[in-house]
Amino acid sequence: MMLYLVRHAVAEDASASGEDDARRLTDKGREHARRVGSGMAALGLAPNLILASPLPRAAETARILAEAFAAHPPVRALAELSPGIPPAQAIAAIGPHCRHDEVMVVGHEPQLSAMTALMLCGDSSGMHLRMRKLGCIALDLPVGRIAPRAGELHWMMTRRQLARMR
């Protein structure tokens, strides 16, 4: 199974309500997400499912990316992808979806980097990563098994690299 971990696009600095959890994408963030989605589709990514944090900036990013793929994979909110949730708990929540060939996760930092470290090294602090907005990490995992040390890094790209692929 291929697992694609994607950080959400650029969001507004502050929401109308002042709540961080309510921040939405900027026009620039939406445009970048469309370009990245086109690049991902050109690379041949074909997720069967997109799981996203329920926060508006991640959910909106996930919907824009889904539009880029021919199969228009469903987007499902997963509360465990919210900021502040321990990486092991987020990985456990993704587990039931491992029956798919390709799954995309759209979320937040530092959770995504910690999840990557856990799946590659067995420890969420086992390596230091910092994903930029719309960066993507592709992990190859055994079918039906998402667990510490189960992953193999397939590739990692920035927003600009992905956008150039289109």
Predicted confidence at residue 107, as pLDDT, reads 98
> In degrees rounded to 5, what are phi and psi of residue 122?
90, 0
Q: What pTM, to 2 d.p., does this model score?
A: 0.96
**What ranges do the domains of the chain cover?**
2-164
Q: Report the 10 Å Cβ neighbour count for 125.
A: 11
- Give the pLDDT of the chain (166 residues) as one tens digit per residue: 999 999 999 999 987 787 878 899 999 999 999 999 999 999 999 999 999 999 999 999 999 999 999 999 999 999 999 999 999 999 999 999 988 999 999 999 999 999 999 999 999 888 999 999 999 999 999 887 788 889 999 999 999 999 999 8
Are residues 140 and 2 in contact, defined by beta-carbon separation less than 8 angstroms? yes
104, β-bridge pairs:
4, 50
Residues facing 11 on adjacent strands: 25
Half-sphere exposure of 22 (CA within 13 A, CB side): 6
Q: How many CB atoms lie within 10 A of CB 166?
A: 15
The closest alpha carbon to 127, from 77, 137, 34, 135, belongs to 137
Query: What contacts 27, CB < 8 A, 6 or more positions away?
Result: none
Give me the pLDDT at residue 121, please: 94
Domain covering 2-164, topology: Rossmann fold (3.40.50)
Number of neighbours of residue 112 by Cβ within 10 angstroms: 26
The predicted pLDDT at position 61 comes to 98
Could you tell me the two tokens for 132?
A: 């930029």
The pLDDT of residue 84 is: 95
Distance of CA 64 to the CA centre of its chain: 13
Q: What are phi and psi of 95, to 5 degrees?
A: -45, -50
